Amino acid sequence: RRNGALAGRRVLITAGPTREAIDPVRFLSNRSSGKMGYALAWAAREAGAEVVLVSGPVSLTPPAGVEVVAVESAAQMYAQVMAQVTDCDVFIGAAAVADYTPVTAAGQKIKKHRDRLQLELVRTPDILAAVAGHRPRPFTVGFAAETERVREYARDKLARKGLDLIAANPVGPSQGFDRDDNTLWVLWPGGERDLGTASKRELARRLITLIGERYGQENST
């Protein structure tokens, strides 16, 4: 394993949810557990890579030998990733980054004076698309969690964000987030592969092996 294409390579991975502050005590977030990203960090380390994990708030123990950079918001995750992007060979965006964040966070706790409260939200930066658009850029891998037409939307996302590879997984009430197992279908510009249904740890190992193969092919000439 350790003499595969990822041995000695720098792999940057995002994991977990982000928290978008509403006021000093409240935030918007999502159900991501970070398990897939942490499993990928573990598997990449197993493959001999130097791994940096930019992680939103999760209750997981980081894999041994992996450098963790803890962040909260999408903006912080973006800043930490962009600070490291030039130095990495492979980027894997496994975080469930909030798509929207409050336009402003209130300086003090919002009081419940009124019956209705409106929050105005603004789009967050797309970290994955920013990495793919960076020059020089790492081999860039994204995730597509979809509730329907999984492969079709993933193929579209691969092209639209300019990725080297995308891992698509069906999500819904009994699949995906905050679970130990997962189903992955992987697509790249010239092909696709079914990685099956397995534990996140096993799927992470399969995905890292495939990333090593594709990365090795693109960087062998």
Label residue 192 left, alpha or beta by phi (over 0 means left) and psi (-120 to 50 means alpha).
Answer: beta
Q: Pairing mode, if any, of strands 100-102 and 121-123?
A: antiparallel
Closer of 110 and 150 to ligand C5P (Cβ): 150
Query: Which own/partner contact pairs does 64-72 have at CB distance under 8 Å and 24+ positions apart?
Result: 66/41, 66/42, 71/18, 72/18, 72/19, 72/21, 72/27
Return all residues near 153 (Cβ < 8 A) that are at least 6 apart: 144, 146, 168
Q: Which stretch binds ligand C5P (CB under 6 A): 27-35, 123-131, 168-176, 198-206?
A: 123-131
CA distance 169 to 184: 5
Answer yes or no: is 99 a known binding residue: yes
If one asks whether residue 74 binds ligand C5P (CB under 6 A), the answer comes out as yes
CA distance 210 to 21: 37
Q: Which stretch binds ligand C5P (CB under 6 A): 38-46, 51-59, 121-129, 209-217?
A: 121-129
Binding track over 8-47 against ligand C5P, x by CB under 6 A:
------x---------------------------------
Closer of 66 and 95 to ligand C5P (Cβ): 95
**Catalytic residue at 182?**
no
Following DSSP, what letter does each residue of 140-160 receive, concatenated?
Answer: EEEEEEESSSHHHHHHHHHHH
Q: Give me the least distance between CB of 84 and ligand C5P, in Å please.
A: 14
Q: Give me the least distance between CB of 136 and ligand C5P, in Å please.
A: 19
Answer yes or no: is 161 a known binding residue: yes
Report the binding-site residues for CTP.
Answer: 99, 109, 125-128, 143, 157, 161
Which active-site residues does the annotation give? 30
Q: Which residues bind ligand C5P (CB under 6 A)?
A: 14, 74, 93, 95, 97, 124, 126-128, 142-144
